[in-house]
Amino acid sequence: MIPIARPFARIAERLRGVGLRPTRQRLSLGRILFAKGDRHVTAEMLHDEAQADGVRVSLATVYNTLNQFTAAGLLREVAVDTGRSYFDTNTSRHHHFYDHRGRELTDIPAEGLRVQGLPRPPEGLAIDRIDVVVRLKKA
């Protein structure tokens, strides 16, 4: 009943809920990812942060975990730059500012943003998702 004292309890439930065993590695990575609000991380960023936190986990496991969390709907992947995958802890519909210099993503809430005048998709295909990326430059 004191969630602060059991930081893994909720995460363990979420993992079991999607059929993943709550291992030490997944719990630690889950805590890093979900403890402090919305985040956009690469595998290497998460691995470095885990190391800094004293969590021993291999890079392969970081990749496995990010991909499993994404498949389970706990994360979503954002494609803004080729050669580097970003994983977003905010899985709700929203968009992004992208600062290509600083390689930094910032959320744009879906509410308030409207994309109007889209043509019909090609025959046999339907819209899965609309991603708006606002690329930034120095003012």
Partner DNA sequence: TCAATAGTTTAGAACAGTTATAAACAAGAA
Partner DNA sequence: TTCTTGTTTATAACTGTTCTAAACTATTGA
99 neighbors 111 (Cβ within 8 angstroms): no
Decide whether 65 or 88 has the Cβ nearer to Zn ion: 88
What's the CA gap between 60 and 76, in Å, rounded? 19
- Report which residue type is found at 15: L
* Number of chain positions touching a second copy (CB under 8 A): 40
64 three-class SS: helix
**Residues making contact with Zn ion (CB under 5 A):** 88, 90, 107
Q: Which is nearer to a second copy, 50 or 78 (CB)?
A: 78
Interface mask toward DNA for 112-131; x: CB under 7 A: --------------------
Could you give the count of Cα atoms lying within 13 Å of 4 in the half-sphere of its Cβ?
A: 0
Smallest separation, CB 130 to DNA (Å): 22
Q: Which amino acid is at 75?
A: L
Residues that bind DNA (CB under 7 A): 16, 20-26, 42-44, 56-61, 63-65, 67, 82-85
